Amino acid sequence: MLPAAGWPLLCLLTVVDLVAGVLPVLFVLFSSWVIGRVPGAVEHGTGSPQWHSLIQAFLLASGAFLVQQVLVPLQSALGEVMKHRVDGRFHRRLISASLQSTGIGPMEDPATLDRLEEATEQLSSGWQSPGDAAAGMLRYVTRYSSLLGYTVLAGVVSSWWVTAALLGSTMLFRYGHRGGLRYWSRLWPVIGPHRRRSDYFRGLGLSAATAKELRVFGLTDWITKEFRASAVESLRPVFRARRRHNTYNFLVFAAIGLVVDSLAVAYLIRSATQGHMTLTQLALGLQTSIAAILLGTFYHEADFPTQAGMNAIPALHDFEQKVSQTKDADIPDGELATAAGLPNRDVAFEKVSFSYPGSGRPVLDGLDLTLNAGECTAIVGLNGAGKTTLVKLLTRLYEPTSGTVRIDGTDVRRYAVDAWRRQIGVIFQDFTRYELSVTDNITVGTIERPVEATAVRAAADKVGMVDTIEALPRGFDTVLNRQYEDGADLSGGQWQRIAIARALYAVDSGAKVLVLDEPTAALDVRAEAEFFDSFVELTRGLTTLLISHRFSSVRRADRIVVLEHGRVIEDGTHESLLARGGRYAELFHLQAERFAAGLDAEGNEENDETEKKETVQ
Ligand SMILES: Nc1ncnc2c1ncn2[C@@H]1O[C@H](COP(=O)(O)OP(=O)(O)OP(=O)(O)O)[C@@H](O)[C@H]1O
């Protein structure tokens, strides 16, 4: 990742880090000259050549010290720039990997999502990022160039075995510290599940979204206890490993270091007392030896960032690999570049079967279904019957395991994926609430069309939201999040209307297929009634696929299809299906009875009456 910072910055920072490592060595050298020249200067007095040479050494030492002080902030600043550049590159790679697939397969695959979570965890927790690792890596240049300088100087004034001894013992300590971190990092997968659990409980305790339930359910003490317990549980293996690993390391390495370093220093002192060294050499030998020994420590600016910050890199690689390998990651484009105006006749699912990747269970099993152009087809079925999956196949987020989807008789795979998708205005059950302006939230489904304020207003008007939007602090420009200045939030039902407006704006932009997956689940009964009152008008001329659990809305469709066990088991109009007395009739009566008994929380008089009439009919 280092070159991601750009070669000029990388070279500059390497040089700065190197100079920052050499300067303390020069300082020790010059200050040893100062010490060595003091007796001569004292003896010969001010103004003597010895005096001048002392001043010269003093100025050099001061210069080295001052430059070192100037370099420290420069080093930090350049390190920050490097961190941001490397993190920027990392983010870009992550985002492009996550958005690269035309299909939705990788983003619904648990193993791929796990790697994505691992890759983003360090970044989102603001702990140690790949950028910290990159900047930290270069700080080793500073530390190790100092170490090399000190030990070489110690060797020059004494013996090369002193160099070897100091270097060896310092590196042994370094191995102890850095190796301990590597060891700790291997524990990461073991403590991972506990840590995730404690993070989850911390998130629950700090989230505004859960604040209501936690208080009303009386969960506050429980959350605190669970957070603490899982946090302690996650640390237990670390404590155990640390005791085992560190005790051995500290005892053995400290013993070796003590013996080797004592021998080296003793050798220096003995050489001096035997008259083999000048005062300068003794000062230099002692200073460099001690400075080298002191470098056998934990490098807080480099050790931890390089270990923890790099954890995200293998996760990124795995994620990139898994995305490209996941089945249905890339839905191939066909040779037909446009599908404008389609379908004219129908959209047909022919013997379509589908199982989610990694699961052998067919969600759709030889499904035959034709959606007639210009007609509204409603799909009903129990939870998990495969209704949303059908939408995913229609929008080409997945490819059928077998069978074909045809548009006016042409295999949908012959069209470019985007060309076909532009023909569809869709509200997914779990539609996205974008932290963008109202206008952007409505137009985001047709990003290629230049924003047309009148069309945006018309879409909002169709879902009865114009008054609400105009009452917002900045009208259509209001960002739909309260955390922004003049931002605002909407209720669940209002959000759903915005999502419907988004699909209608897409229709206004030329989409001919309208897919509404539970479009009114969050609307109150009046809003739902209003929506379906204008439904015929809104969907006129469109090929509409309506998925809903509410039979009061479904019966307005031209045709109703009941899905069960991955197949169509009933198909007809509301009246014909009721007359048939099959699954649809059974579900319809069940819901109508609930309304009649006043059990359904959403029932109001208006709806009760209509439902009751239907039941009687
Ligand atoms: N990404 C996925 N990976 C694996 N299985 C999935 C995935 N999405 C859905 N399923 C499974 O496929 C089946 C059909 O799901 P689908 O969401 O299509 O049902 P549905 O009819 O829309 O249900 P509901 O009425 O609850 O919205 C379910 O058993 C569900 O658990």
Q: What pLDDT does 559 receive?
A: 94
Q: For residue 386, report the distance from its CA to the centre of ligand 1, in Å.
A: 6
Asked if the structure places residue 567 within a domain, the reply is: no
Asked if the structure places residue 496 within a domain, the reply is: yes
d(CA 2, CA 43): 55
Q: What pLDDT does 598 receive?
A: 56
At 239, which CATH number? 1.20.1560.10
Taking the model in full, what pTM does it have?
0.76
Asked if the structure places residue 36 within a domain, the reply is: yes
Torsion of CA 69, 71, 73, 75, to 10 degrees: -150
Residues 42 and 182 in one domain: yes
Number of domains in the chain: 2
Cis peptide bond N-terminal to 343, omega within 30: yes
Which residue's alpha carbon is at the smallest distance from atom 9 of ligand 1?
389
Residues 313 and 440 in one domain: no
**Nearest CA among 385, 368, 380 for reference residue 586:** 380
* Domain end marker among 325, 351, 366: 325
Residues 317 and 448 in one domain: no
Mutate to test the pocket of ligand 1, among 108, 359, 361, 363 (most ligand atoms within 8 A of CB): 363
Sheet with strand 362-372: strands edge to edge? 362-372, 346-355, 402-407, 410-411
Q: What pLDDT does 11 receive?
A: 96
Asked if the structure places residue 491 within a domain, the reply is: yes
Residue type, 318: D
Q: For residue 278, report the distance from its CA to the centre of ligand 1, in Å.
A: 84
d(CA 317, CA 254): 39
Q: Element (H or E) spanning 377, and its range?
A: strand 376-380
Instruction: Kindly state the tokens that stand for 348.
Output: 């047909």
Q: What pLDDT does 24 receive?
A: 96
Cβ neighbours of residue 284 closer than 8 Å, sequence gap 6 or more: 28, 29, 32, 153, 154, 157
Residues 42 and 164 in one domain: yes
* Domain end marker among 484, 510, 536: 510
Whether 428 and 395 have beta carbons less than 8 Å apart is answered as no
Q: What does the DSSP 8-state code read for residue 415?
A: B
**Nearest CA among 503, 501, 332, 481 for reference residue 412:** 332
At 460, which CATH number? 3.40.50.300
Tens of pLDDT, residues 407-464: 999 999 999 999 999 999 998 888 899 999 999 999 998 888 899 999 999 999 988 8
Sheet with strand 513-517: strands edge to edge? 424-427, 513-517, 543-547, 376-380, 559-564, 567-572
Q: What pLDDT does 601 receive?
A: 44
Residues 452 and 308 in one domain: no
Interface confidence (ipTM) of the complex: 0.97
Which residue's alpha carbon is at the smallest distance from atom 24 of ligand 1?
383
Beta bridge partners of 514: 425, 544
Tens of pLDDT, residues 520-564: 777 777 777 777 777 777 788 899 999 988 877 788 889 999 999
Position in ligand 1 atom list of the atom nearest CA 386: 18
Instruction: Kindly state the tokens that stand for 113.
Output: 């999502």
Can you tell me whether residue 604 is helix, strand or coil?
Answer: coil
Give CA 99 to chain center in angstroms: 12
Averages of pLDDT over each 10 residues, the chain, 617 residues: 90 96 97 95 92 96 95 94 94 91 87 85 75 94 97 94 94 87 77 80 88 87 92 86 78 89 91 91 94 93 89 88 78 87 93 90 94 93 90 93 94 93 90 93 90 94 93 95 89 89 92 89 76 77 89 85 93 93 89 64 42 37
| CB atoms inside a 10 Å sphere around CB 165 | 25
Residues in contact with ligand 1 (CB, 6 Å cut-off): 108, 356, 359, 363, 381, 383-389, 429
d(CA 173, CA 299): 11
Cβ neighbours of residue 11 closer than 8 Å, sequence gap 6 or more: none
Q: For residue 384, report the distance from its CA to the centre of ligand 1, in Å.
A: 5
* Domain end marker among 490, 510, 530: 510
Position in ligand 1 atom list of the atom nearest CA 518: 27
**Which residue shows structure tokens 């700090």?**
206
Q: What does the DSSP 8-state code read for residue 189?
A: H
* Distance linking the first and last C-alpha atoms of the chain: 71
Instruction: Kindly state the tokens that stand for 367.
Output: 């499904």
CA distances from 319 to 118, 325, 331, 382, 389 (A): 9, 10, 19, 35, 24
Can you tell me whether residue 185 is helix, strand or coil?
Answer: helix
Asked if the structure places residue 549 within a domain, the reply is: no
Q: What pLDDT does 217 receive?
A: 85
Q: For residue 369, report the distance from its CA to the centre of ligand 1, in Å.
A: 19
**Nearest CA among 64, 35, 561 for reference residue 279:** 35
Give CA 250 to chain center in angstroms: 39
Asked if the structure places residue 240 within a domain, the reply is: yes
CB-count exposure of residue 326 (10 Å: 0-12, 13-18, 19+): buried
Whether 544 and 373 have beta carbons less than 8 Å apart is answered as no
Asked if the structure places residue 401 within a domain, the reply is: no
Q: For residue 430, report the distance from its CA to the centre of ligand 1, in Å.
A: 13
Residues 463 and 319 in one domain: no
Asked if the structure places residue 226 within a domain, the reply is: yes
Structural domain of 472:
433-510
Q: What pLDDT does 589 receive?
A: 87
CB-count exposure of residue 412 (10 Å: 0-12, 13-18, 19+): buried
d(CA 393, CA 400): 7
